[in-house]
Amino acid sequence: MPQDLLLRPGTAEDLPALAALHLRVRDAAYPLMPRRVHDDADVTAWVAGWDLLHSEVWVAEAARAPVGYARIHEDWLEDLYVDPDAAGQGVGSALLDLVRARRPGGFGLWVFVSNTRAIGFYRHHGLVEVTRTDGAGNEEREPDIHMAWPGATG
């Protein structure tokens, strides 16, 4: 993990940088993740429209720049993205630990079947597979897996 890693709540001022990060991660993740179906402008507008009153966005920062983020809505981890240059350095684990602390009763997420790296990461951190789909319900029309963290025990 970067020594100067800071996890902090995201603000509206962070959204343009998070949109750029999202685009960078998605493009670098191909072919583990399918190609994007939205252009840069659409993704930037989508991120700019995130409702920070009803969703939590957490920014992972190193050297005063975002290197990852997590977005939680109710009991769903909607996004967890780490800059390709920071991958394998503990940023994703730190964000996931934060999500587990914020949602001690458990949460779910969706991951593409093709994203074997993410599936392995989530399994390593105690998430379990709930169900698989043929992808008919997502924009990319790619098979995906609903995974869940069952929550803290004891």
DSSP 57-117: EEEEEETTEEEEEEEEETTEEEEEEE-GGGTTTTHHHHHHHHHHHH-TT-EEEEEETT-HH
CA angle at residue 136 from 68 to 76, to 5 degrees? 35
pLDDT band, residue 42 (cuts 50/70/90)? very high
3-state secondary structure of 41: helix
Distance CA 44, CA 82 (A): 17
Mean pLDDT over residues 7-30, rounded? 97
Q: What type of residue is 40?
A: D
Neighbour-count burial for 108-137, b at 16+ CB within 10 Å, e otherwise? bbebbebbeebbebbeeeebeeeeeeebee
> What does CATH list as the number for 6-149?
3.40.630.30
| Per-residue pLDDT, 3 | 78
Cβ atoms of residues 69 and 57 within 8 Å: yes
pLDDT band, residue 153 (cuts 50/70/90)? confident
Enter the pTM of the model.
0.95
